[in-house]
Amino acid sequence: MKTIFTAALICLFYLLPLTTFAQDLINVEGLVKDDKQNMPAATVLLYSSKDSALVSSAMTNENGQFNFKAKTGSYYIVATSMGYNKVSTASIKLNGEKSYSVPSILLKETENNLNEVVVTAAKPVLERKADKLVFNLDATPSAAGLNALEALKKAPGVVVDHNENISLAGKSNVLVTIDGKQTYLSQEEVVNLLKSMQSTEIESIEIMNNPGARYEANSTGGVINIKTKKSKADGFNGNVAIGAGYNKRLSSSNNLNLNYRKNFFNTFGSYSYNNNKWEQNLLIDRVTPNEANKLYFSQRNTDTSNNNSHNFKIGTDFFLSPKHTVGFLVKGNINNREENSFSRTNIGSSLGQTDSILRTPSHNEGARKNYSYNLNYKGILDTAGQELTLDVDYSTFDGDNDALYRNKFFRADGTFFKNGQIYRSFAPSEINIRAIKADYVLPLNKDLKIEAGLKYAGVESDNNFIFENEVGSGWLTDPNRSNRFKYSEEVSAAYTTFSATLGKLSIQAGLRAERTHSTGTSVTLNEEIDRKYTNLFPSVFVSQNFNENNVLNFSYSRKINRPNYQNLNPFMDYLDQYTYNQGNPNLRPEFATNFEATYLFKQKYSIALAYTHVSDVITQILLQNAALNSMYQTNLNLASDDIISLTLNFPVTVTKWWNFNNNILAYHKQLKSPNINGFELKSKRFTGNIYMQHNFNMSSQWSADMSFFYSTPQIDNALNLKTFFTSDAGLRYNFKNKNGNLKLGVSDVFHTQKPRISSNLEGNEYTLKQWGTSRSVRLTYTQRFGKSTVKSSRDRQTALDAEQKRLGQ
């Protein structure tokens, strides 16, 4: 009750400033264009004629249109865009009319290079749109020097837990895409990819809780799309970013982006190199479930890791005509990791009584190579907007993970007692993916449109786990722990959507059908699991635009999440003699039904009510093996997960130089499963999250920000998580010539990222605490060069967008 009361007071405090807007405002609208076309993404500023104070700002849409609200009075407008001269309008007077149309504003392209372009405004940190929330990362100085995973933690509603699992509004199994394209990697490999990608490459993070039928059905937890930076017209340009950070250890991040467009072709490429070092600490206290002979384990583990990664992308688009384009794209990620770990476990008849000590030093090293190739075509078939896109893709993944563990037992006084298990493992993995897809758009008239598409994807993976014990002076293969596992999967999909606009009412209805055939084979055990299933995934989106200030949206969808390839492999991966991970070849896909209603006020303030029901929930869980006195992590299917959530998003302007964005999420989560290790799981909890970002624009050159995140206690499947709080801060300096900037960022200012966890499953008694070098200081220098108006490469979704997410390590 105290928590709910406190949250209510905070909500009331935030909502009070909104009452100042409860007066009639005049809608100001207009068009920005150049000599050839209407200008999208131009910056439009409204100033008071009286004192030249900035009143409001806007960005033009894809048709060059803008609008904002203002009180009665006298104003003038300034419009600008990179590569164009700034234009100021004559004074305009707003009286009692409901709307005012500004004469078209004409921008003229400058002949100067980038260092003569003046940028006078930036996008807001958060933008609420009809179907998504947009987090503009470049407007956040504290994001400087972060990798993409760390930047994702700053996005409202997104939580990255102690095991680096990504959840959205309390829902797990989130689909992460980059520029609308899935990575085709497993959860672990998505995390590795995000760690190797720098915030300087990212323009914004788009959060979609309930995507429609055109998106992959494999997205029960919603979609997070990371949009990388693009450039804008003919010529050559690029940027380079060099960064260094310190978190008890030095790290570096460097990336280069180049783009060249001339007449009938556009060539683009990027390369980044990152070296990250970090330390992770883990504390586990547990009691074995054996009633006759209870044992208490108190484990302390420290990992130090060094990760080197190379990412590259190169592609070319050929413009066969103004309406037909073909392109080729190659992407690669090379990642090498080395990890040294030391685990000390006190074993006794109570947590305060130590009878023996297990010490386990270990060494792990791994190498991963992921390459993908894409051939694509886009054609506009007629003047009515009929459109066809084709993608053919092929992707390869090769990974190795080698480990060595030495378990040694000591008496309570620290003297050596005996050797435990000494073993090593080798885990080569090879995965190949091929896919083809086609998307077709048919406008029937200006108010009616049909979209349809086909896709086929085939996956083959081969995972070999070799486990060896030290026997005497040599090594002997352990056939009971070694395993070779092969997996193949074919998914055939088709979808269609129908869109209609009826006055102020917009409706989109879609249906996606997918047929799946999968075969999992344990070569070692001579066991095979063969599955065939066909599913339908409907979606509906309805938007009622009452007027310019009030919009109500409703959406419904059904989704699937298939287990990733590596989790199906039954091999065991050890931390020490009593702690390990184990795969589960019997995992079934999970299915989710989603409903969401969103109310938008003045295109800035929003409130969303959502409900999600998930069956056969795929979840990562910690269990105890009573026979071996061991604790292990695996993936299981729970019976159901029900989540009801309410999200409130709103910006508040305090002064001309200080504003803050707010996102408040409250949700109730309930999990059920009839039998986990012989016990029934029934867990439910109300959770509240508050995210605030304060922005300080002191001058055209200096800006700063500070963000806060707070969460009340929550449940994560079979885990209880206690209250959590963190804060970041940043400072940004723009050079006077506007061709570069310097950013200083500090993460986890108060060093509070220390998850405290306990079990909510009967017969599974443990507590866990985990923390690492999350507090860090980073300095990043960014330099732009070349012409500022280079058109970017096309955004495209490749045919591999669902499969690579599920690649094994």
Residue 482 domain-assigned? Answer: yes
DSSP string, 773-798: S--EEEEEEEEEEE-S-PPPPPP---
Query: Does pLDDT of 407 surpass 70?
Result: yes
Half-sphere exposure of 14 (CA within 13 A, CB side): 21
Q: Which of 141-145, 385-389, 455-459 shows the lowest mean pLDDT across its residues?
A: 141-145
Dihedral sign for Cα atoms in the order 401, 407, 412, 413: negative
Examine the fold and report which residue of 50, 79, 111 is the final residue of a domain before the chain moves on.
111
User: What is the overall mean pLDDT for the chain?
Assistant: 82
Average pLDDT over every residue of 558-579: 82
Predicted confidence (pLDDT) per residue in 212-227, tens digit: 666 666 666 677 888 7
Predicted confidence (pLDDT) per residue in 626-650, tens digit: 888 888 889 899 999 999 999 898 8
Of the pLDDT bands very low, low, confident and very high (cuts 50, 70, 90), residue 6 is very low
Residue 689 domain-assigned? Answer: yes
Better-predicted residue by pLDDT, 149 or 107: 107
Query: Does pLDDT of 498 surpass 90?
Result: yes
- Report the number of distinct structural domains present in the chain: 2
Half-sphere exposure of 34 (CA within 13 A, CB side): 17
Of the pLDDT bands very low, low, confident and very high (cuts 50, 70, 90), residue 503 is confident
Query: Does pLDDT of 444 surpass 50?
Result: yes
Residue 695 domain-assigned? Answer: yes
Provide the pLDDT for residue 792: 44
Average pLDDT over every residue of 716-734: 88
Q: Which of 4-8, 69-73, 288-292, 726-730 shows the lowest mean pLDDT across its residues?
A: 4-8
Better-predicted residue by pLDDT, 162 or 296: 296
| Residue partners of 72: CB distance under 8 A and separation at least 6 | 26, 94, 95, 96
Better-predicted residue by pLDDT, 636 or 236: 636
- Of the chain, the percentage scoring pLDDT greater than 90 comes to 28
Better-predicted residue by pLDDT, 210 or 460: 460
Residue 310 domain-assigned? Answer: no
Residue 326 domain-assigned? Answer: no
Provide the pLDDT for residue 2: 45
| Residue partners of 11: CB distance under 8 A and separation at least 6 | 648, 664
Provide the pLDDT for residue 16: 40
Query: Does pLDDT of 410 surpass 60?
Result: yes
Better-predicted residue by pLDDT, 171 or 751: 751
Dihedral sign for Cα atoms in the order 795, 798, 802, 807: negative
Write the CATH number for 679.
2.40.170.20
CA atoms of 202 and 200, how far apart (whole Å)? 6
Better-predicted residue by pLDDT, 339 or 195: 339
Considering the domain architecture, whether residues 444 and 586 belong to the same structural domain is answered as yes
Predicted confidence (pLDDT) per residue in 414-426, tens digit: 999 999 999 999 9
Average pLDDT over every residue of 148-170: 70
Tokens found for residue 218? 């494999």
CA atoms of 223 and 225, how far apart (whole Å)? 6
Of the pLDDT bands very low, low, confident and very high (cuts 50, 70, 90), residue 24 is low
Of the pLDDT bands very low, low, confident and very high (cuts 50, 70, 90), residue 513 is very high
Closest CA to 666 of 681, 697, 644, 635: 644
Map residue 125 onto helix, strand or coil: coil
Tokens found for residue 730? 């940043």
Provide the pLDDT for residue 21: 38
Q: 732 and 702 in contact (C-beta within 8 Å)?
A: yes
Considering the domain architecture, whether residues 101 and 243 belong to the same structural domain is answered as no
- Of the chain, the percentage scoring pLDDT greater than 70 comes to 83
CA atoms of 637 and 618, how far apart (whole Å)? 5
Residue 523 domain-assigned? Answer: yes
Average pLDDT over every residue of 263-283: 88
Q: Which of 545-559, 676-690, 692-706, 795-809 shows the lowest mean pLDDT across its residues?
A: 795-809
Map residue 101 onto helix, strand or coil: strand
Provide the pLDDT for residue 762: 83
Provide the pLDDT for residue 170: 66
Tell me the C-alpha to C-alpha distance, in Å, between residue 522 and each of 45, 579, 790.
Answer: 64, 23, 52
Query: Does pLDDT of 297 surpass 90?
Result: yes
Residue 195 domain-assigned? Answer: no
Q: Which amino acid is at 330?
A: V
Provide the pLDDT for residue 1: 45
Provide the pLDDT for residue 438: 94
Provide the pLDDT for residue 263: 75
Phi, psi (rounded to 5 degrees) for 478:
-100, 105
Residue 799 domain-assigned? Answer: yes
Provide the pLDDT for residue 282: 92
| Residue partners of 775: CB distance under 8 A and separation at least 6 | 247, 746, 747, 748, 749, 751, 753
Predicted confidence (pLDDT) per residue in 737-759, tens digit: 777 888 898 988 999 988 899 98
Examine the fold and report which residue of 111, 127, 160 is the final residue of a domain before the chain moves on.
111
Average pLDDT over every residue of 754-777: 88
Tell me the C-alpha to C-alpha distance, in Å, between residue 676 and each of 80, 618, 762.
Answer: 61, 13, 9
Provide the pLDDT for residue 612: 92
Query: Does pLDDT of 118 surpass 70?
Result: no
Q: 794 and 329 in contact (C-beta within 8 Å)?
A: no
Provide the pLDDT for residue 621: 87
| Residue partners of 177: CB distance under 8 A and separation at least 6 | 183, 223, 224, 225, 226, 797, 801
Query: Does pLDDT of 52 surpass 90?
Result: no
Average pLDDT over every residue of 522-545: 90
Strands (E), 626-759: 630-653, 658-676, 679-697, 702-711, 714-716, 719-721, 724-734, 740-747, 756-759
Residue-number span of the structural domain to which 39 is assigned? 2-111
Write the CATH number for 98.
2.60.40.10
Provide the pLDDT for residue 790: 43
Average pLDDT over every residue of 559-578: 81
Provide the pLDDT for residue 536: 94
Q: 485 and 520 in contact (C-beta within 8 Å)?
A: yes
Considering the domain architecture, whether residues 556 and 691 belong to the same structural domain is answered as yes
Average pLDDT over every residue of 669-676: 89
Provide the pLDDT for residue 219: 67
CA atoms of 232 and 787, how far apart (whole Å)? 9
